[in-house]
């Protein structure tokens, strides 16, 4: 006899767990219990005062996109936005400073540059041809963005992604930009070198593709660095007030719909009887019954080996799960509590550099230094100083809620070897050394970045990322690497890729599933599979909610809102004058 019973029981209270619970309760009409191991819900939707009290650091997720992250929630739960699921944008979206040539390059957000003319003008200073290409792709962004919206909203099928990109490819061809199909098999680095004329643009595109989860050396990642970036980069955004606000907003929706989100409840096993999931057992022995469905949002390894158990799986599934690759997307994200925001030397030429969402600090403009950095990591070694390619940002410049009045919270990202590459003692030493290296490097670009300017620092490495057990063993931010055999309809393995498992009434989702890497839509996609199987409510079939149009409408609605806020601010300023 279980201690408590729900219609649906969700294992893990992170992004996927919370968003899936919203759908199961409101559109599936189910009673739902969410069971989270840590002291609070949110998982990767974290914003912690880790660098110093009062400074909000997004320690697990900060890079959001209007067309990837919450468009389904904005459409299906209007109060999510009202409760705080809101985004904003910096002036510059993506940028880079190159120390050797003393050049900079930036692209602008859709909020501050609705036509992308400003981005094009800036790119043209380095290459007119690259600027032209930028505008050409931006002009056909609608079919591209719709295709991407669907990648985060559809149960994957073999060949489905290629079919989705057919229309955008035709639109590009109409503009005279016919992409040779060979691009699909290029690596990101190779594609960028062919598409973009200037080394600076090549490096800017490839470094961003790294942050977005591309293994830049792996065959098959080619489209990301060319086709998608100009259409999507200007839509990059961040969560107002810290990423955890999105978890709070989701939680408020859940409370309203009667969902119970439990914390400090580590799940040990799924209870399986006659091949059917009947509930879960917590580490403390408590049993929770599930009348209709159990969903795991943990890693594929946890799902198969811990929650289900090898005795319920065939040998092919076991072998494939054992062979999953996860050692290339491992990053350090440090949070820096500062007296002053970084002031870049080259801001004398372009002041917008001081307000960038994603700013690369490169010692040179050679895109191959990104390859060298990746090779070091593949060897399990920390790249040397000359091959570091960090990205920095300072959200408090755009949103004062991130830091106490007059102070600032900056962050940096540097790719690192996997958590398993070093012992705990070695990680502790590396963390300190890396802080010193980054300060030395940052100072070359922003002279005010001295230790005197630092109030506190939180050194978050792949080793620390293991605090989220589902990111073990390597501390991979994406749980699994994005290589072709672990993508789309093959992610994590073909047998589990449709969110269903060999156990009846047991489903799996999370970053290890298609559409899951990041604080994005795999909860929604998993709901689609459950709704199909159990004949639950299907909001996407309601009039006015047809996909992809209704998702694209949300993107444009929020984009317009952001653009309108700039107009209103200018009006207010002119009234004051």
Ligand X SMILES: Cc1cc2nc3c(=O)[nH]c(=O)nc-3n(C[C@H](O)[C@H](O)[C@H](O)COP(=O)(O)OP(=O)(O)OC[C@H]3O[C@@H](n4cnc5c(N)ncnc54)[C@H](O)[C@@H]3O)c2cc1C
State the minimum distance, in angstroms, from the CB of residue 84 to ligand X: 17
Residue number with CB closer to ligand X (13 or 220)? 13
State the minimum distance, in angstroms, from the CB of residue 456 to ligand X: 18
Burial of 549 (0-12, 13-18, 19+ CB in 10 A): exposed
Residue number with CB closer to ligand X (63 or 204)? 63
State the minimum distance, in angstroms, from the CB of residue 346 to ligand X: 25
Residue number with CB closer to ligand X (126 or 308)? 308
State the minimum distance, in angstroms, from the CB of residue 516 to ligand X: 6
Cα angle for residues 499, 536, 301 (degrees, 5° grid): 15
Residue number with CB closer to ligand X (200 or 327)? 327
d(CA 237, CA 221): 23
State the minimum distance, in angstroms, from the CB of residue 102 to ligand X: 29
CA-nearest of 476, 463, 376 to 423 is 463
* Residue ranges binding ligand X (CB under 6 A): 11-17, 35-38, 43-44, 60-63, 266-267, 297-298, 331, 333, 465, 468-471, 477, 510-511, 516-520
State the minimum distance, in angstroms, from the CB of residue 13 to ligand X: 5
Whether the Cβ atoms of residue 384 and residue 376 lie closer than 8 Å to each other: yes
State the minimum distance, in angstroms, from the CB of residue 267 to ligand X: 4
d(CA 306, CA 462): 22
Residue number with CB closer to ligand X (184 or 241)? 241
State the minimum distance, in angstroms, from the CB of residue 406 to ligand X: 26
Q: List all residues 6 or more positions away from 213 whose beta carbon is below 8 Å from its beta carbon.
A: 329, 477, 478, 482, 517, 518
Residue number with CB closer to ligand X (333 or 540)? 333
d(CA 6, CA 262): 13
Residue number with CB closer to ligand X (60 or 251)? 60
Q: What is the 3-state secondary structure (H, E, C) of 299-325?
A: CHHHHHHHHHCHHHCCHHHHHHHHCCC
Whether the Cβ atoms of residue 222 and residue 196 lie closer than 8 Å to each other: no
Do β-strands 87-88 and 236-239 pair in parallel, antiparallel, or remain unpaired?
Answer: antiparallel
State the minimum distance, in angstroms, from the CB of residue 493 to ligand X: 17
The Cβ of residue 484 has, within 10 Å, a number of other Cβ atoms equal to: 15
d(CA 442, CA 431): 16
Residue number with CB closer to ligand X (146 or 412)? 412
Burial of 212 (0-12, 13-18, 19+ CB in 10 A): buried
The residue assigned the tokens 């992170």 is: 14
Residue number with CB closer to ligand X (33 or 221)? 33
Cα angle for residues 508, 17, 85 (degrees, 5° grid): 140
Alpha carbon separation from 303 to 4, 199, 261, 289, 387 (Å, rounded): 22, 44, 20, 18, 37
State the minimum distance, in angstroms, from the CB of residue 366 to ligand X: 26
Beta bridge partners of 568: none
Residue number with CB closer to ligand X (363 or 525)? 525
The two three-digit tokens of residue 573, written as one number: 């300023």
Length of the chain counted residue by residue: 577
């Amino acid at each position: 006899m279980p201690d408590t019973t729900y219609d649906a029981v969700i294992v893990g209270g992170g992004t996927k767990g919370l968003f899936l619970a919203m759908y199961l309760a409101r559109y599936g009409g189910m009673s739902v219990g969410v069971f989270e191991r840590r002291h609070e819900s949110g998982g990767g939707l974290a914003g912690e005062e880790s660098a110093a009290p009062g400074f909000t650091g997004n320690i697990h997720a900060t890079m959001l996109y209007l067309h990837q992250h919450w468009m389904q929630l904005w459409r299906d739960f209007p109060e999510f936005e009202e409760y705080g699921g809101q985004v904003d944008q910096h002036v510059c979206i993506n940028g880079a400073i190159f120390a050797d040539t003393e050049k900079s390059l930036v692209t602008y957000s859709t909020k501050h540059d609705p036509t992308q003319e400003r981005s094009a003008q800036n790119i043209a200073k380095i290459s007119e041809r690259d600027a032209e290409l930028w505008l050409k792709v931006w002009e056909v962004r609608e079919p591209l963005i719709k295709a991407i919206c669907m990648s985060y909203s559809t149960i994957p099928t073999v060949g489905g992604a290629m079919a989705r990109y057919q229309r955008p490819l035709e639109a590009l061809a109409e503009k005279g930009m016919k992409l040779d199909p060979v691009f699909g098999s290029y690596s990101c680095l190779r594609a960028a070198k062919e598409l973009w004329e200037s080394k600076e643009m090549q490096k800017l595109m490839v470094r961003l593709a790294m942050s977005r989860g591309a293994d830049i050396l792996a065959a098959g990642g080619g489209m990301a660095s060319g086709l998608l970036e100009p259409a999507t980069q200007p839509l990059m955004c961040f969560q107002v007030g810290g990423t955890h606000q999105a978890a709070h907003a989701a939680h408020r929706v859940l409370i309203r719909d009667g969902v119970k989100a439990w914390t400090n409840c580590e799940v040990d096993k799924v209870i399986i009887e006659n091949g059917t999931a009947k509930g879960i057992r917590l580490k403390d022995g408590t049993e929770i019954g599930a009348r209709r469905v159990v969903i795991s949002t943990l890693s594929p390894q946890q799902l198969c080996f811990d929650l289900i158990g090898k005795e319920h799986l065939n040998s092919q599934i076991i072998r494939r799960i054992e062979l999953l690759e996860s050692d290339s997307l491992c990053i350090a994200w440090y949070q820096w509590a500062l007296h002053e925001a970084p002031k870049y030397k080259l801001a004398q030429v372009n002041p917008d550099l001081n307000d960038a969402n994603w700013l690369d600090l490169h010692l040179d403009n050679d895109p191959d230094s990104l390859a060298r950095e990746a090779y070091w990591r593949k060897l399990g070694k920390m790249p040397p100083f000359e091959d570091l390619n960090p990205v920095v940002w300072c959200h408090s410049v755009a949103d004062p809620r991130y830091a106490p009045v007059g102070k600032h919270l900056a962050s940096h990202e540097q790719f690192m070897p996997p958590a398993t590459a070093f012992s705990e003692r070695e990680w502790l030493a590396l963390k300190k050394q890396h802080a010193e290296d980054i300060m030395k490097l940052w100072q070359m670009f922003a002279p005010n970045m001295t230790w005197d300017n630092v109030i506190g620092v939180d050194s978050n490495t792949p080793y620390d990322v293991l605090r989220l057990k589902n990111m073990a063993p390597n501390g991979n931010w994406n749980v699994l690497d994005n290589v072709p055999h672990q993508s789309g309809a093959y992610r994590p393995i073909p047998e589990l890729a449709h969110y269903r498992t060999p156990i009846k009434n047991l489903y799996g989702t999370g970053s290890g599933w298609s559409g899951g890497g990041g604080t994005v839509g795999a909860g929604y996609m998993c709901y689609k599979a459950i709704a199909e199987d159990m004949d639950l409510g299907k909001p996407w079939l309601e009039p006015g909610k047809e996909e992809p149009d209704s998702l694209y409408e949300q993107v444009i609605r929020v984009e317009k809102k952001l653009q309108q806020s700039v107009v209103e601010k200018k009006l207010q300023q002119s009234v004051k004058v």
